């Protein structure tokens, strides 16, 4: 519905794309060429998939050290990208608090911890020529795309096993995930259905809360605005009216509301709040259950329906009547003799 080619997926739907919350193993060339989202900067689109974090493996071909971070140029044979790798505070501290701790021959957690940190540090100091794996979010600073690393480490790959398996895996990932169009397309009907039921719930809650008896569509139109805003803003008016129409239809089908008179003026009555309707139904049942024909078994729903239609409103739906009957029964005004027969107490 709103997922046509060339247009961005609305950001509310991004979470439905599993790739969005994963570190995408894209080729660096693709990371450099992805278009940035106009809705949320820092999110990029590859093939209509929203992506903000990536996972790359490549040879370091450029290195620059700053006080707080390393800047590595990583080459995966399709492109080269800068990776900002922040220096770990722990590592800095570790070198300062060196002298403490005494090894009593047994297991010394402090010493072990220091060993671990040293190992980590050695993994984080990467030189040109070495293989680096970086996971992080994609950024664009000064029109240059880069990866701000959340995790990075040197990969020992003396016989290229890691690189080879990576090279064989990535095309497969592309075929199975990244190059497949977003599956939302097939789900759009579900998405619109759920937005209708959401809209219906909003209207129902509002009507209940305010004990509204009668309303016109434009009275509740604004309630649905938040549902529309999150979607594309091309033709909000048309979309809003469509959603409203469908939501009202749902409520009508449920019997929650009905139109007493079908005319140009669209007035809806809330079934539960319509006192006159309740009285009319009660009258019909009271009068007719006295008749010999209904005295024993009570009045059938369809009989009540046709009688109320003649007496009160031609448009009353069966579901609306059933709603009234149910509430009358709950109040012990009437009782049901069978599944579909009612009589007065």
For binding to other proteins (CB under 8 A), which residues are involved? 27-30, 33, 59, 61-62, 73, 75-82, 128-129, 158-161, 163-164, 167-168, 170-171, 174-175, 179
Find the shortest distance in angstroms from Cβ 129 to other proteins: 5
Find the shortest distance in angstroms from Cβ 256 to other proteins: 49
Per residue, the 3-state secondary structure of the chain, as one string, reads CCCCCCCCCCHHHHHHCHHHHCCECCCHHHHHHCEECCCCCCCEEECCEEECEEEEEEEEEEEEECCCEEEEEEECCCCEEEEEEECCHHHHHHHHCCCCCCCCCCCCHHHHHHHHHHHHHHHHCCCCCCEEEEEEEEEEECCEEEEEEEEEEEECCCCCHHHHHHHHHHHHHHHHHHCCCCCHHHHHHHHHHHHHHHHHHHHHHHHHHHCCCEECHHHHHHHHHHHHHCCCCCCHHHHHHHHHHHHHHHHHHHCCEECCCCCCCCCEEEHHHCHHHHHHHHHHHHHHHHCHHHHCCCEEHHHHHHHHHHHCCCCCCHHHHHHHHHHHHHCCCEEECCCCEEEEC
CA distance 344 to 333: 7
Residue nearer to other proteins on the CB measure, 21 or 77: 77
Find the shortest distance in angstroms from Cβ 76 to other proteins: 8
Whether 244 and 224 have beta carbons less than 8 Å apart is answered as yes
Find the shortest distance in angstroms from Cβ 28 to other proteins: 7
Residue nearer to other proteins on the CB measure, 79 or 255: 79
Residue nearer to other proteins on the CB measure, 149 or 299: 149
Find the shortest distance in angstroms from Cβ 25 to other proteins: 13
CA distance 317 to 344: 22
Which residues have C-beta within 8 Å of that of residue 304, sequence separation ≥ 6?
281, 284, 285, 288, 321, 325, 342
Residue nearer to other proteins on the CB measure, 89 or 156: 156
Residue nearer to other proteins on the CB measure, 105 or 158: 158
Residue nearer to other proteins on the CB measure, 131 or 280: 131
Residue nearer to other proteins on the CB measure, 12 or 164: 164
Find the shortest distance in angstroms from Cβ 127 to other proteins: 10
Find the shortest distance in angstroms from Cβ 185 to other proteins: 17
Residue nearer to other proteins on the CB measure, 166 or 268: 166
Find the shortest distance in angstroms from Cβ 167 to other proteins: 4
């Amino acid at each position: 519905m709103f997922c046509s080619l060339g247009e961005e997926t609305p950001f509310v739907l991004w979470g439905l794309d599993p790739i969005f919350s994963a570190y995408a193993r894209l080729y660096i060339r693709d990371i450099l060429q992805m278009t940035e989202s106009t809705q949320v900067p820092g999110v990029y689109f590859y093939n209509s998939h929203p992506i903000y974090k990536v996972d790359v493996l490549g040879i370091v071909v450029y290195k620059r050290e700053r006080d707080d971070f390393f800047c590595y140029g990583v080459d995966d044979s399709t492109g080269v990208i800068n990776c900002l790798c922040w220096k770990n505070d722990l590592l800095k501290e570790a070198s300062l608090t060196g002298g403490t701790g005494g090894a009593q021959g047994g297991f010394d957690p402090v010493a072990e911890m220091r060993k671990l940190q040293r190992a980590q540090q050695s993994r984080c100091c990467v030189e040109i020529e070495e293989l680096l794996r970086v996971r992080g979010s994609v950024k664009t600073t000064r029109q240059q795309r880069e990866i701000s690393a959340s995790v990075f480490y040197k990969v020992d790959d003396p016989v290229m096993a890691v690189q080879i398996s990576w090279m064989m895996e990535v095309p497969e990932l592309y075929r199975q995930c990244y190059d497949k169009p977003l599956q939302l397309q097939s789900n759009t009907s579900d998405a619109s259905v759920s937005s209708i039921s959401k809209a219906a719930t909003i209207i129902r809650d509002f009507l209940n809360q305010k004990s509204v008896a009668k309303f016109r569509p434009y009275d509740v139109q604004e309630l649905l605005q938040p549902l529309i805003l999150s979607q594309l803003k091309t033709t909000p008016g048309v979309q809003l009216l469509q959603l409203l129409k469908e939501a009202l239809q749902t409520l009508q089908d449920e019997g929650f509301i009905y139109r007493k008179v079908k005319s140009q003026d669209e007035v809806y009555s809330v079934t539960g709040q319509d006192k006159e309707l309740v009285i009319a139904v009660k009258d019909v049942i009271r009068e007719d259950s006295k008749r010999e024909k209904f005295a024993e078994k009570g009045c059938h729903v369809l009989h009540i329906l046709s009688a109320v239609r003649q007496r009160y409103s031609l448009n009353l739906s069966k579901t609306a009547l059933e709603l009234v009957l149910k509430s009358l029964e709950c109040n012990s005004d009437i009782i049901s003799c069978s599944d579909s027969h009612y009589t007065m107490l």
